[in-house]
Chains A and B, each alone.
Chain A
Amino acid sequence: MKIPSNILTLIAGIALTLICLWYGQNHGLMPIAASAEARTVDELFNFMMTIATGLFLLIEGVLIISIFKFRRRKGDLTDGPPIEGNIPLEIVWTAIPAVIVFILAIYSFEVYNKMGGLDPMASHDMGTQMAHHHHNDNLVALDLEGQEMALGLGASPGNKDEESLVVDVNGLQYAWLFTYPDTGVVSGELHVPVNRQVTLNISAADVIHAFWVPQLRLKQDAVPGREAQLTFVPDRVGEYPIICAELCGAYHGAMKTTLFIETEAEYNQWVQNNTFAQESFLDEAVANYHVP
């Protein structure tokens, strides 16, 4: 009897491993990913999903088996075995989660670093004073006065020297306003060319908002009186929702717009169309774009 039960456990273990490995990759819960960083976040999620599925099946399995196998029989008033603990077993189930979260923390750290989260330019909070707007990435690491620092996610370590398309993003009840300092275009939609690094300088005019593009897996609160940044390289042409994710008032749910990731040609065409249309109030837009 001993050998079959061992084999059963072994088979159950293999089945459980296979199920969670398969489900971790095929859960289909994430939307399309529109940047390389988004796909690294998905890999992290898949890894967590694999472990979570395994633990879920293990614990629920134990509970379900217990319900059927270890029921009190009618009329049996005796107690179960007086087992009060098992030190080696307890050490094992303390150590395994500890190792798992250790691996998970290191992995998450790596992913966060890849996303540019530890870029000194973008990952520091400089308090409530407003950041000064000029962008010279090379000097950032040496900038002791903190003038160039903002919150959020910076450039991925591999893309540090690449020049960004800078867009100033202002959140206000209940709309997003995008200003392109290079061309003076002001728009309610965000248009960016594919495969080019984009840096968003995010601020808020009234209450806290949050800039979220699910397909980029990126979110950053827009806090009045503070400057935040998101840097990313979109690599998939398409239209994606830009959602305000922080409660900002009664019509919070309506505070939505669209991110257009376009080919270089489409993007240039769009800039051109809008530059002509907006030339007249260019000056005004530049003067106003970071008033809280």
Chain B
Amino acid sequence: MSTATETKENPVSQNGHGSSHKQRKWQDYFTFSTDHKVIGIQYLVTSFFFYFIGGFLAEIVRTELATPDPDLVQPEMYNQMFTMHGTIMLFLWIIPAGAAFANYLIPLMIGAEDMAFPRLNAVAFWMIPVGGVLLISSFFVGAPQAGWTSYPPLSLMSGKWGEEIWIMSLLILGTSSILGALNFGITILTMRIPEMDLNSMPLFCWSMLATSALVLIGTPVLAAALILLSFDLIAGTSFFNPVGGGDPIIYQHMFWFYSHPAVYIMVMPFFGVISEVIPVHARKPIFGYRAIAYSSLAIAFLGLIVWAHHMFTSGTPGWLRMFFMATTMLIAVPTGIKIFSWCATIWGGKIELNSAMLFGIGFISSFLIGGLSGVMVAAVPFDIHVHDTYFIVAHFHYVLFGGSVFALFAGLYHWFGKMTGRMLNETWGRIHFALTFIGFNMTFLPMHQLGLLGMNRRIALYDPQFQSLNQVCTIGSYILAVSTLPLVINVLWSLIKGKKAGRNPWRALTLEWQTTSPPAIENFESEPVLWAGPYEYGIDSENEDEEDVEDMLTEVSAQS
């Protein structure tokens, strides 16, 4: 397709490489750049750097769990490993990776030159490596070992400086997240091209709008909790320390008031990614645009009033447990709407089963399992049994890995061509998908059973009766580790030798595909034209040929 486009188009305005407009040099990616595309790629590369660290820690944890005895690392070390694994994966991989796509795509999708506050944007990014390096440096003083939830009083009693570094690092990363969200929200609300109203925005923008609202409401509460915890730790106050009359349950409420919405902060940007990827490769309009757009808002709202379902066995009275059970179950409704709508989008389409689509479908099928187990754990009587067991570990990995990570890869294969000007290799992409999908399910599916049968989480030693299932999980995690190799090879190879992407390799309709790949420094050579809705596929297929979309694209660029 792209070759046909290239010959037709004006060679000057087309083409990602060697064209008339100025290109970013590789050095630019190591500077305090205010270009949203540079920042987006900085976020993405940084987040993948931390992904490898977090993944390495996960492999140590799984290797330790291959046998029932704590024989690979000391128990204190083991607790540091899973604490750091959780913290890194959430705060330094998934959240920054979501911000990466948001930074790169929002201005392009709404036809803007950059974000509303470019300098703030750069500040927000550069806090990530600072916070990340600070967090990793805690290994030198003894990393935190109270879990990523860091409940007092344990967090006040196990390694003062590791814990304090963890707090400082999270405060930095949280601030970055707030600055980013401010930028995304305001950019989406005020900088769209005039023809684009809210209901003709790409769905990714809707999901980022909802995500930004959650970040702005939730993160300050986490910051408050962490600052108070820091006082308890350093200054010996007793906000949460029961020895001095403090209340550890208050910390749990404050922590989860952010950290439950944080699940949606992590997964909703990727809901948006899926809503972009699936229609393009199924060649069909998204099914129920408004339902998907507004269900993001519904999820965001409900996400703010479910936090105590993490505390059903903790210091919560019965009526509170019942209230939070009801609100939690309600979230199944907007989430269900999304899953059904994605399926209906695929159904009857003309599916191009490339790597992006494979990861997209992999996302739906894995996230579905996380959603179903999510409704189960909402039921208080059942949650009392499985809370803090491997069932929960399975559940949240199906939500965060099955949800966020599969969609992250779908987005990577989908937009890599736009970001770099070269396409990722399909064969390596498919190998990557197959290994990820098999490894993922093998690692996390058996954990459901482990939890139900009685294996609690965050333990280095466990009952020998659970060993065989644990070994399956461990082998699965090794397959997951191997799955990163084809990805790395593919990315490095494609950067140099990959097929040229051209403007619009997928024949997609959202605005980012109207500009060159990679886009010019201020995105569009001329004001982009909104000549179709974001998902109006198949409208001209009744009596005319698909070539028309190409012609229209050429026309658009020729007008410049």
Contact = CB atoms under 8 A, between A and B. Distances in A.
Interface string A235-260: 00000010111111111111000000
B537 A82 contact: yes
A292 B242 contact: yes
Contacts of B388: 210, 212, 219, 245-247
Contacts of A104: 329, 375, 379
A217 B332 CA distance: 24
A46 to B, nearest CB: 10
B317 interface: yes
B329 A125 contact: no
B347 A62 contact: yes
B546 A79 contact: yes
Nearest to B341: A90
Contacts of A52: 372-373, 375-376
Contacts of B452: 29-31
Contact of B318 (A86, A112, A210): A112
A210 B313 contact: yes
Contacts, number: 301
B145 A83 contact: no
Contacts of A123: 317-319, 321
Contacts of B536: 82
A98 interface: yes
B236 interface: no
A138 interface: no
Interface stretch (B147-155, B221-229, B485-493): B147-155
A223 to B, nearest CB: 5
B337 interface: yes
A117 B284 contact: no
Interface string B227-261: 00000000000000011011111000000000000
A61 to B, nearest CB: 10
Given A125-B317, A221-B314, A245 B389 contact: yes
Contact of A241 (B344, B387, B463): B463
A60 interface: yes
Contact of B385 (A41, A80, A83, A86): A41
Given A85-B287, A223-B248, A59 B381 contact: no
- Between B340, B361, B385, the greatest number of chain A beta carbons within 10 A of the residue's beta carbon is seen for B385
A249 B78 CA distance: 11
A250 B145 contact: yes
Size category of the B interface is 35 or more
Contact of A108 (B351, B353, B379): B379
Nearest to A52: B372
A225 B247 CA distance: 8
Interface in A3-42: 29-31, 40-41
A237 B127 CA distance: 58
Contacts of A128: 242, 245-247
Given A63-B343, A223-B249, A224-B242, A29 B448 contact: yes
A270 interface: no
Contact of B538 (A80, A125, A127): A80
A48 B379 contact: yes
B484 interface: no
B72 interface: no
A277 interface: no
Nearest to B156: A207
A67 interface: yes
Contacts of B191: none
A60 B362 CA distance: 10
A205 to B, nearest CB: 10
Nearest to A151: B315
Contacts of A225: 242, 245, 247-248
A56 B347 contact: no
A136 interface: no
Given A41-B385, A70-B346, A245-B388, A59 B351 contact: no
A179 B285 CA distance: 66
Interface in A51-110: 52, 55-56, 59-60, 62-63, 66-67, 70-73, 76-86, 89-90, 93-94, 97-98, 100-101, 104-105, 108-109
A223 B448 CA distance: 27
Given A63-B365, A71-B353, A207-B153, A247 B147 contact: yes
B498 interface: no
B368 interface: yes
A224 B538 contact: no
Interface stretch (B10-18, B20-28, B93-101, B453-461): B453-461
Contacts of B340: 90, 93
A206 interface: yes
Contacts of A59: 339, 343, 364-365, 368
Interface in B335-385: 336-337, 339-341, 343-344, 346-353, 361, 364-365, 368-369, 372-373, 375-376, 379-382, 384-385
A21 to B, nearest CB: 17
Interface string A137-154: 000000000000001010
Contacts of B365: 59-60, 63
A31 B454 contact: yes
Interface in A164-202: none
A226 interface: yes
Contact of A83 (B248, B284, B458): B284
- Between A117, A212, A220, A247, the greatest number of chain B beta carbons within 10 A of the residue's beta carbon is seen for A247
A60 B47 CA distance: 31
A111 interface: yes
Nearest to B546: A77
A83 B287 contact: yes
A111 B381 contact: yes
A44 interface: yes
B154 A248 contact: yes
Nearest to B149: A247
B76 interface: yes
B495 interface: no
Contact of A48 (B1, B318, B375, B462): B375
B65 to A, nearest CB: 10
A118 interface: yes
Contact of A208 (B153, B243, B368): B153
A67 B353 contact: yes
A208 B462 CA distance: 20
Contact of B79 (A45, A80, A250): A250
Interface of A: 29-31, 40-41, 44-45, 48-49, 52, 55-56, 59-60, 62-63, 66-67, 70-73, 76-86, 89-90, 93-94, 97-98, 100-101, 104-105, 108-109, 111-112, 115, 117-119, 122-125, 127-128, 151, 153, 206-208, 210, 212, 214-215, 217-221, 223-226, 228, 241, 243-254, 292
11 contacts: A70-B349, A79-B350, A101-B330, A109-B322, A117-B321, A208-B248, A214-B454, A224-B242, A225-B247, A225-B248, A252-B79
Interface of B: 1, 70, 74-76, 78-79, 145-147, 151, 153-154, 157-158, 242-243, 245-249, 282-291, 313-322, 325-326, 329-330, 332-333, 336-337, 339-341, 343-344, 346-353, 361, 364-365, 368-369, 372-373, 375-376, 379-382, 384-385, 387-389, 448-449, 452-454, 456-463, 507, 535-539, 541, 545-547
Given A108-B380, A210-B387, A245-B387, 7 more contacts: A29-B453, A41-B381, A52-B376, A85-B288, A85-B290, A218-B384, A226-B249
